[in-house]
Amino acid sequence: MFSFNKPLTPASTRHAALINQLATPGLGTLMLGRLALGIAQLALGIAGFLFIITWFAIIFFQYYGQISGNVEVKPVGWIGLTGGILFIASWLWSLITSIGFIRKAERSSQQLPAVPPRISS
């Protein structure tokens, strides 16, 4: 599944692009065998997701603390905003990467002959 420098075919790049855009940024890039690029995109997406989850948990505990006692509400919107920016950056990066891979696969498939060469002895 994750072999390095796989040949890019239109079908494999299309599937990887769908996974990059609809599932997890960076996972499709990993499937195409681009390890460093895929790990970087995936790490950026996970970091953004963790920031958003942290922001949500802090907000949840602050609101719950207000209901049950006297808890001071602290501004933590920057955590959610940072997480959103990181995740969107990861998604856009994987979009640009996916478009590049699709174009490269289309160019390489056009260079291949439609009929295999005839072998004569």
Q: Quote the pTM value.
A: 0.81
Least confident of 30-34, 98-102, 110-114: 110-114
**Cα dist. 99→13, 20, 35, 63 in Å?**
9, 11, 17, 43
DSSP state, residue 115: S
Q: How far is CA 55 from CA 19, 39, 66, 73, 79, in A?
A: 26, 24, 17, 13, 6
Q: For 7-64, how does the pLDDT look when each residue is reduced to its tens digit (9 = 90+)?
A: 788 888 999 999 999 999 999 999 998 899 999 999 999 999 999 999 999 999 998 8
CA distance 121 to 114: 22
Q: What is the mean pLDDT of the chain?
A: 88
